[in-house]
Amino acid sequence: MSENTGTPAPPAPPWGKDEDFDPEKAWKLIQTLRGAEATLTNKVRELQTAVDAKSAADKAEADKGKSETQRLAERLAEIETQAQKDRRALLVERAQRKHNLSDDALIFLTGETPEEIEQRAAALAAFGGKKDKDSSTDDVQPKDDAAQLPGRPAPALRPGHGGEPAVVIDAAALATEARARRR
């Protein structure tokens, strides 16, 4: 800490004193590190390629002992699993659009059947997981007061209305009143 100001002193540079800094040495170090990074990046790519080739060879070796029917059955199981995931994603997206749910609310949208997803989407929409509407829409008033959550303020906005009128403050009157109170 600096004794005069009480603020912490700035940290010392990593090379020590400013007089010890050598720009040529720093540039050489930067170039060396960039070269090492490029070398390591290439090495990672080579290793990833080798791993992919090895896993493909292992899969081919494992498939060698299987009959054509077994390979097709496994492939069918993979395709069915992917189709089920895609179907669920489609159902979730439809429920999101139907109930106008925000993207953040989708993590709470669980279920596997269309009925479960629809039921949970409706519950989320009722709870308040809806997207904010554009201010350009004509439908600004809530559609159903019963659908509003208890204790939640209902907006009383009308297009073209800026809210409550601004309070006009008369500075001269306030100053006169303050002077009168002092006396």
7-51: per-residue pLDDT in tens? 777 777 777 777 778 888 889 999 999 999 999 999 999 999 999
Encode pLDDT of 62-109 as tens digits: 777 788 888 889 889 999 999 999 999 999 999 999 999 888 888 888
96 vs 118: CA distance, rounded Å: 9
Tell me the one-letter amino acid at 114. P
Q: Measuring CA to CA, which residue among 25, 3, 6 is closest to residue 14?
A: 25
Residue 116 to residue 102: CA distance in whole angstroms:
18
| pLDDT score for 76 | 95
Range list of H helices, the chain: 23-64, 68-99, 114-127, 171-182
* 3-state SS, residue 130: strand
Separation of alpha carbons 62 and 67, rounded Å = 11
